[in-house]
Structure 1
Amino acid sequence: MNDNTARYLFEGISADVVRYLVERDGMELPDAISVFHNSETFSKLEDFDTGLYIESPAYVYDLLQSELENGRLVP
């Protein structure tokens, strides 16, 4: 997969995860953006070598929820 496709998928997932934080968790948009962008989940998503960008937005959201509940990503 080329970098443009990976970047497109990354951006779409990021937007969806932030939307989930707003809609499902009741966060304000700036807070949702900050929480996601400062998370380990975001760092893993941004690292295309992890392949996380090919997962669904719901999967990435669940991963973030787990990180927020546990204070870190749990394998």
Structure 2
Amino acid sequence: MSTKDYLVQSIVSQMVVYLMDEFRWDMITAMKAIYHSELFRKLDDVEIGLYTQSPKYVYCYLKKELLTGKYI
């Protein structure tokens, strides 16, 4: 596993916890929301480098996408 993959998975696992706490979703629902989001595609993009940011920072963008239906 590369460093990027490790960082992405670390952020995803923390965002799952955030979604479960805030929206009272089960783990599977939270994971599906993340992995099917536009944000995840951006998070996994090396050129953007979003995976180097904190999980809370990335979560703010995910939450906006989930609530508005648009990636900002």
What is the TM-score normalised by the length of structure 1? 0.87
Amino acid at match of 2:29: D
Aligned to 1:49, what secondary structure does the other structure show?
Answer: coil
Which runs of at least 4 in structure 1 moved beyond 6 Å after TM superposition?
none
Amino acid at match of 1:23: D
Aligned residue number for residue 60 of structure 1: 58
Deviation at 1:57, TM superposition (A): 0.2
Aligned to 1:50, what secondary structure does the other structure show?
Answer: coil
Aligned to 2:47, what secondary structure does the other structure show?
Answer: helix
What is the TM-score normalised by the length of structure 2? 0.91
Q: Any idea what the Cα deviations from partners look like across 1:16-41, whole Å, max 9, x if unmatched? A: 11111112221111110111110001
Q: Any idea what the Cα deviations from partners look like across 1:35-54, whole Å, max 9, x if unmatched? A: 11100011111112210000
Q: Map residues 1-75 of structure 1 onto 2, 5 A cutoff.
A: 4-74=2-72
User: What is the distance in 1 between the residues matched to 2:18 and 2:41?
Assistant: 18
Percent identity among equivalent residues? 36
How many correspondences in the alignment? Answer: 72
Show structure 1 runs of 5+ residues with no match: none
* Higher-helix-fraction structure: 1
